[in-house]
Every structure is written in structure tokens, then in C-alpha cells.
Amino acid sequence: MRVLSGIQPTGPFHWGNYFGAIRQYIELQEVATEAYYFIANLHALTTVRDAAKLQQYTLDGAIDLLALGLDPSRATLFVQSDVPEVSELCWLLMTGAPMGLLERCVSYKDKIAKGLKADAGLFTYPVLQAADILAYDADVVPVGEDQLQHIEVCRDIAQSFNHHFGQTFVMPKGKILDSSARVPGLDGEKMSKSYDNTLAVFADPKAQRKQIMRIVTDSRPMEDSKEPVGDVLYDLYALVATEDERDAMAALYRRGGFGYGEIKKALADAAERYFAPARERRAALAAEPQQLREILAAGAAKARVKAKATLKRAQQACGLSDW
């Protein structure tokens, strides 16, 4: 089983990124025959237009993934733009991608519906995603349920190419990530940079504690019994607490007679403990920039070998060749 996933470097990773996706990507490296994980900086160009920020976000994203448990001896980690074969493959796929298919893609439709400007990068974004997946003959692509359309579009584009030029691409399958890992934001909505309601994984613990203490809670009397599941503080606490701690907290909610300040303090303490090992690893990695460059260079070199072979296969299939 060959697994592939990419993550955009559009800012610091937050709890939603980690519990909703990254943690599950890292678990897959243990069972996959091969695993490819990349920092999708080409995709990020559709939203990040500051060169210095994009470079920093890209490096930070790589450091964060390593600190959170990605093992370069088990998985190939690289930066998307370091594999130019993918961009060339994207053009081959673009020539056969139906306009109607791209117009139906959610990311494009949503932006148009909101009256926002949509550039060619956003419109053709799904084709680059398809190239990302097909370049490595990926069998499995872990995605959230709301992203399953991307895999379906990739399969449609691959089928179109295979129909015109013969069997060329492996047909990938989407692996739906555990939906129970939904992470609420500070306002109770889904945690997202778009809503400005996030808790950063590697935020300064003191700053994050202040964020947590400002979470708005309901006005029910302290003595009332409360159902824990569905409460923002409890749901966040459940992500970073041990099983025994979760059980004790749930019992406290149902018993009543507590203050939310008590819960917020427990949440901040549990979060600090949970991410402390990763925070230490991150500090060590950040102090060794040469090591990071070597990991990314080795990952890109391995990824390029695979992408070159796929690109060559596609070029030959559609009549392009080295003269």
C-alpha cells in the first residue's frame, strides 16, 4: 500500500490540523509499504502572496511534521515545488480535464458563490492535486469526508487520460479520516484558520493558556449537571487528556458543582503536558537547520525518482518523447 498526503503551509498548524488529520497520517506510516508526505507550497500560492511568509511557513510545516512524529526513515517528506515533474504532469492532465468537471469543484463554486475573485490557480487547483497523487502511483489518499470530491476528480481525470492514451495511471482510493476527531474551535464551530478560532499546536504555553481562559461558556448555574460531550471545553480536554482523566472529567460534568474556570485550567495543563515532548523535539530540530535541509533534500530526491518514471510513462503514452 502506497500512501500519499500533502498539507498546505498557510500558517501554524493548529489542533484541528493535528487531531483531524496529521496524527492519522503519521499512524499510516506504520502500516504503509511506502508513504509520501509533502508540504504543498505550490497550492499555498493561491492564498499566500508574501514570499518570505511562504518560505517560513514551508520550513515550519516540515519541522512541525517531524516534531509531531513523522519518521523520515519510514516516510518520504519533501516540498512540493522540489519535484518539478509534478508541474509538468499537471499540464498533460490539464489538456484533457473537462471544464465542466472543474467548474463543479466545491472550492471554486464556493468562492464564486461568495462573490470572491477566483483566479486560474484556484480553478485548476484540482488538476494539480491529481498530478500530486498520480505522480507517485498512490493507492491510498487519506482525506476528510468533505475532501472526498478531490479524489473523485482525480480518478475522473486519470480515467480520461487512460481512455485516450491507454492504461497509464494507478487509480487511487480515498481513505476517510476518523470523523470523530472533529475539533471544535474557541467559538464552538469547527476549528479553522478561516474562522480565526484556532489553538496552535506549538503556541507558547502561557499565551495558549490565556486563549483558553477567554473561551466563552454558557451561563448555567455551577451546581447543575451538564452533559460533557458537545461542550467545547470538554471536547477539547478529551483530545489531550488520558483516558482516566477524561472519565474523571466526564463524571465531574454529570455531577455538577464546578466552575468553568476549573475546567479551563485543567484543559490548559493537559494541553501543555500533551504537546511537551513534541515541543522539545521541535526546538531541537529548529536548532539544526542543516539536518532539516538534508531530510527534505533526500525526500525530494526519492520523490523525483518516482515522479520521473510516472511522467515518462505518461509522456510516452500521449506521444511526447526524447528526440
In tens digits, the chain (323 residues) has pLDDT values of 899 999 999 999 999 999 988 998 899 998 889 999 999 999 999 889 999 999 999 999 999 999 999 999 999 999 999 999 999 999 999 999 999 999 888 778 777 777 767 789 889 999 999 999 999 999 999 987 777 888 999 999 999 999 999 999 999 999 888 765 679 999 999 998 888 999 999 999 999 999 999 999 888 887 889 999 999 999 999 999 999 999 999 999 999 988 899 999 999 999 999 999 999 999 999 999 999 999 999 999 999 999 999 999 999 999 997 65
Which grid cell sits at 268?
490548559
pLDDT value of residue 181: 62
Statement to judge: residues 292 and 254 lie in one domain: no
Q: Is residue 323 part of a domain?
A: no
User: What's residue 322's pLDDT?
Assistant: 63
Q: Which helix (H) or strand (E) holds 302?
A: helix 289-318
Is 189 among the domain residues?
Answer: no
pLDDT at 15: 97
- Are residues 162 and 48 part of one domain? yes
- Count structural domains, the chain: 2
**Distance of alpha carbon 175 from its chain centroid, rounded?**
14
Residue 32 counted as domain residue: yes
Q: Is residue 196 part of a domain?
A: no
Q: Are residues 277 and 303 in the same domain?
A: no
Same-domain status, 121 and 148: yes
- 12 and 140 both lie in a single domain: yes
> Which domain, by its residues, includes 9?
2-182+288-318
Q: Compute CA distances 74 → 69, 176, 234, 285, 314, whole Å.
A: 11, 22, 35, 18, 28
Residues 168 and 232 in one domain: no
What 3-state class would DSSP assign to 39?
strand
Residue spans of beta strands (DSSP E) within the chain? 2-7, 34-39, 76-79, 140-143, 173-176
Q: What is the three-class DSSP state of 126?
A: helix
Q: How far apart are CA 232 and CA 216, in angstroms?
A: 9
Same domain, 173 and 215: no
Q: Which active-site residues does the annotation give?
A: 111, 190, 193
Q: Which of 178, 136, 174, 183 is nearest to 155 (CA)?
A: 174
pLDDT at 323: 58
Name which of 154, 201, 191, 167 is nearest 314 in CA terms.
167
pTM confidence score: 0.92
Do 273 and 302 belong to one domain? no
* Residue from 174, 264, 161 nearest 210 by CA: 264
Based on the fold, state whether residues 63 and 166 are members of the same structural domain. Answer: yes
